[in-house]
Structure 1
Amino acid sequence: MNALLSGALVLSWSSGFIGAKLGAESAPAVTLLMWRFLPLTAVLALVVALRARDAWRGLSAGVLGRQAAIGLLSQSAYLFTVYYAIQLGVSSGTTALIDGIQPLVAGALAGPLLRQYVSRRQWIGLWLGVGGAAVVATADASSAAGAAWWAYLVPFLGMLALVAATFLEERSRTRVAPTVSMTVHCATSTVLFTALAVGTGTATPPADPSFWFAVGWLALVATFVAYGLYWLVLERSGVTKVNTLMFLMAPVTAVWGALAFDEPFGPRTVVGLGLGLAAAVIVHRGGTRSARIRTRRARPVRTGEPAEDGDRLPGRCGTGRA
């Protein structure tokens, strides 16, 4: 059962990149994101009104403002760069791999910013992960359908936004319930993308049925199913297992994109993905120092939840997922 749940988590999480690819073919990124977050925010607001009012008690304007800032970085900025990069022609697999090195980069910065240090073996993993992303990006760019060179910097900017959000969350003294963080993040994204879509005259959705299929896919599968499975696998298998599964997203997305959209998947892509997987293994087995490193990859923290131990890199915060 655990294997089935883990496989479903990998597939549902990877589906976000595939849904972004589907939507990018029928509408601008801000249009797709606006209509993705509008129904999500409405559903979450209803849940809050009916079942989660207590979770908001005692939260100050400063705490909610910090959550809004985290949402802007980990969700709005991150997702826009993912969707825009795919719209520019960057393959979904390459985008997923660049996104996947975020916890590695966060780990490299954990020492100077949080005094949480990375072991020598983990540094090797960090460089392998970056190297794997570079190999896949160059293979993608050299293909016939490759995007302009600067387009590959767009998902890197989103990855850096996730890093910034991670440290903003790590330095927060108040932990909020998942319902609160999800609602604030989605509401913030809804306001931002609605304003951008209206301001650029792209708020009206296209009549193409594939657009609404992509919206439904992203809202239901890439958000609710993936998020629910994340918590279920987390409860049954632990944080380390979940974070290891996250590094499988890039190869699964690359294969999926090659089959569905004929995206490039040659020998260099295989080598780059292999380097990324090797980096994940080395990083997760390489923590030997007493200063252990925490992670919150796509995992909002419950109010009053104790800190966790383990040789893990700081990971993705909030609900930012493709």
Structure 2
Amino acid sequence: MTTTGDSIWIRLMPATFVLLWSTGFIGAKFGLPYAEPFTLLFYRMLLTLMCLGLLALALRARWSGSWRQAGHLAVTGLLVHGAYLGGVFTAINAGMPAGLTALVVGLQPLITGVLAVLVLKETVSGRVWTGLLLGLAGVVLVLAEKLAPGSGNLFEGFPLWAVFAAVASLFGISMGTLYQKRFCGGTDLISGAFIQYCAAATAFGILSFSIETRQVHWTPELIFALGWLVLVLSLGAISLLLALIRRGASAQVASLFYLVTPVTALEAWLLFDERLGLIAVAGTAVAVAGVYLVITPGRAGRASS
């Protein structure tokens, strides 16, 4: 039986997720000056595993006895945590602005929507596609100044391969979302997340020891960023994402990522004095309208429910 408090929390879950998830780009920008990307992510995974292990013991989490299910969870971890985070941190470390990285990853709803139709055979209505396209238009408007071909700022300060790293992140989170929904439903959130982070930690550890120096400058800024990334992102936001995937269709959950870009731009304005112009404000409104179309059913949907 759902109580009033539970109902309010369920309604607040999408907005809370967007707010928490958007801070990941800011946290990466704070922490990367003091550690290489895969080394920073390796430490993040290890600390997250320590926290999850304690939670699993305290709450007596249910562990899957199937190696096949554990394998599915490991694949999800490599996609959602490994490819996604690895791509984002690599792109930002190469000099790609956090906002522009968020924009590339913000294309995820279209990728997920297409893959949901092709792979999961989900039905995506015209209303949903209209919302997805509106969201994409809003994301582009938010960062129009950085994407304008005539501005001379495109790719300034970072190499072309940084864009490919962000694109790898985009496809990682898109495929990971679908894979989680198809193969990992019904698993315990804590034990499932522990297996996922184990897989990601292994990948980041191999990359860190093979291609990086693993030098870390333990400054207060890095400690704060690492703590934030572990407690708020790895534990809080990821748990919300997995819970949302269970509750909604893939395209609807993915549409929330459209709001991450304007929220990230707002945070960058507050923290780094990146100004938001009228075009960015208009883009935010368009993105919100697109998300509204995707996550709320039409009249037909309400009548048949």
- In 1, the alpha carbon distance for the partners of 2:212 and 2:93 equals 18
Q: CA deviation at 1:136?
A: 4.3
Q: Given the alignment of the two structures, is residue 11 of structure 1 paired with residue 15 of structure 2, yes or no? A: no
Q: 2:132 is aligned with what amino acid? A: L
- In 2, the alpha carbon distance for the partners of 1:275 and 1:153 equals 27
Any conservation in 2 of the 1:67–1:181 contact (CA below 8 Å)? yes
Q: 1:46 is aligned with what amino acid? A: L
1:3-152 → structure 2 map (5 Å cutoff): 10-52=18-60, 55-57=62-64, 59-136=65-142, 138-141=144-147, 142=151, 146-148=156-158, 150=160, 151-152=162-163
1:180-219 → structure 2 map (5 Å cutoff): 180-219=191-230
Q: SS at 1:160's partner residue?
A: helix
User: Which of 271, 281, 294 is equivalent to 1:283?
Assistant: 294
Any conservation in 1 of the 2:31–2:225 contact (CA below 8 Å)? yes
Q: SS at 1:212's partner residue?
A: helix
Q: 2:41 is aligned with what amino acid? A: L
Any conservation in 1 of the 2:48–2:235 contact (CA below 8 Å)? no
Cα displacement string for residues 15-56 of structure 1 (whole angstroms, at most 9, x for unaligned residues): 222111101222221121111111111222233345435x11
Q: CA deviation at 1:66?
A: 1.3
Any conservation in 2 of the 1:119–1:287 contact (CA below 8 Å)? no
Q: CA deviation at 1:137?
A: 5.0
Aligned pairs, number: 285
Cα displacement string for residues 238-286 of structure 1 (whole angstroms, at most 9, x for unaligned residues): 8699887665432221111122123463344334433322221222346
Change (3 A) 1:95 1:68: same
The residue that corresponds to 1:158 in the other structure is 169
Q: TM-score, normalised by structure 1?
A: 0.74
Q: CA deviation at 1:90?
A: 3.1
Q: Given the alignment of the two structures, is residue 254 of structure 1 paired with residue 261 of structure 2, yes or no? A: no
Q: 2:33 is aligned with what amino acid? A: E
Change (3 A) 1:88 1:100: same
The residue that corresponds to 1:176 in the other structure is 187
- Two-structure CA RMSD over aligned residues (Å): 3.5
Q: 2:263 is aligned with what amino acid? A: V
Q: Which of the pair is proportionally richer in helix?
A: 2
- In 2, the alpha carbon distance for the partners of 1:272 and 1:105 equals 20
Q: SS at 2:124's partner residue?
A: coil
Identity of aligned residues (%): 32
- In 2, the alpha carbon distance for the partners of 1:73 and 1:287 equals 32
- In 2, the alpha carbon distance for the partners of 1:269 and 1:146 equals 20
Q: TM-score, normalised by structure 2?
A: 0.77
Change (3 A) 1:115 1:221: closer
Q: Which runs of 5+ in 1 are unaligned?
A: 291-308, 311-322
Change (3 A) 1:70 1:244: closer
Q: Which runs of 5+ in 2 are unaligned?
A: none
Change (3 A) 1:86 1:262: farther
Q: SS at 1:89's partner residue?
A: coil
Change (3 A) 1:153 1:199: closer
